[in-house]
Amino acid sequence: MAAPKMAAKMAAALPDPVLLRVLALLPLRDRLRAARVCRRWRRLVQDRVLWADVDLSPHKLSSKTLWQLVRHRLGDSLRTLRVRGALLAGGRQRLLSPALLAALAQRCPRLSRLCLAEADLRPLPYESFPASLTALELSRCEIPAAWFCGSAARALPRLQHLVVRKVPAFSNQHLLNVSSRCRLKTLTLSGTYRVTDMGIQSAAPRLEELERLVLRHCVVTDSALHFIGRHMKRLRFLEISSADSLTNAGLACLAALEGLETLRLDHCDKFSPEAIAALCRALPRLRNLKLDGADFGDEAMGKIQASLPSCSFSLTP
């Protein structure tokens, strides 16, 4: 009994800022339980600092539970919200609804980042999402064909950051629609096999303000790199992975990206060391180069490193 009493006395002696830091490290469920300890802890658990970034993704939530959180816990301090549905588990109950999103927008007017995983979003109109969002992340979700187009395209006027991971319905048309209506600064497409060279070609002229681009497991070839180099002059970070069809000709197109600081490529066995060295010499601001899947000899490695006097270089066979 002595040890718990001593621990309680030590916790009681801690100032509020220290206790807030401790509570911030707790999972949401434990944090809510901590509110039952005493009145002081209940007051601290309600502090705005603890409700700026809320991660609900580890929890299996019902729509009723999420409604309670929106009504009684989430407020104008919320900046980031992560939620996971039950799409992959075969659940039929839909977690999100237009009414819930409307309540979220009203209760949390400063919400800027929404991350949704494994959610069936097909019944949701795109315009039902909070207009305050500047970042939207979709992982393993189902979306309708009508998203980002028509009058709904003006639903998120502040959207600057879009992440789409393993969303099978995301297509060239979705990419064109969102790039036409939003001034994106960062874009990540991973496992979106419906996005092809044609989609990159159509969207590239509308992505001129893009600073960060990640393409993973997309069906792109040298043609896509041509339009990236031609239109996305403000890129500072570029990652392209699992694009088996890229060659030296496509790599040369990236020489037009004079502001590029970080370049990550894989399946580099199709690139020659000379082509990589020539690209590095053409990129004056390049500071980080990562090549995966390359099997160059020591002589070739020396040529590449010689072209990177002020750049961090890593090679993974």
**66 & 11 share domain:** no
Residue 220 lies in a domain: yes
pLDDT above 90 (res 145): no
Report the distance separating Cα 299 and Cα 289, nearest Å.
18
Listed range (1-5, 166-170, 208-212, 232-236) with the worst mean pLDDT: 1-5
Listed range (60-74, 95-109, 124-138, 223-237) with the worst mean pLDDT: 60-74
- The more confident residue out of 189 and 22 is 189
- The more confident residue out of 164 and 246 is 164
The sheet that has 312-316: what strands, in order across it? 53-55, 80-84, 113-117, 135-139, 161-165, 186-190, 212-216, 237-241, 262-265, 288-292, 312-316
Average pLDDT on 172-201 reads 93
Among 202, 278, 264, smallest CA distance to 235 is for: 264
**264 & 169 share domain:** yes
Q: What is the pLDDT of residue 317?
A: 63
Among 292, 280, 222, smallest CA distance to 255 is for: 280
Q: Which domain holds residue 237?
A: 160-317
* Mean confidence (pLDDT) of the chain: 86
pLDDT above 60 (res 123): yes
Residue 124 lies in a domain: no
**276: Cβ contacts below 8 Å, ≥ 6 apart:** 251, 268, 291, 304, 307
**214 & 304 share domain:** yes
pLDDT above 80 (res 310): no
CATH code for the domain in which residue 45 is found: 1.20.1280.50
pLDDT above 50 (res 180): yes
Domain termination site, one of 34, 50, 66? 50
Q: How confident is the model at residue 30 (pLDDT cuts 50, 70, 90)?
A: confident
Q: Which residue bears the tokens 């309600």? A: 46
The number of folded domains in the chain is 3
- Cβ–Cβ contacts within 10 Å for residue 202, how many? 16
Listed range (229-238, 257-266, 272-281) with the worst mean pLDDT: 272-281
**172 & 317 share domain:** yes
Report the distance separating Cα 36 and Cα 14, nearest Å.
18
Percent of the chain at pLDDT exceeding 70: 89
Q: What is the pLDDT of residue 1?
A: 45
pLDDT above 60 (res 99): yes
- Dihedral, 294, 299, 303, 309 alpha carbons, nearest 10: 100
Residue 155 lies in a domain: no
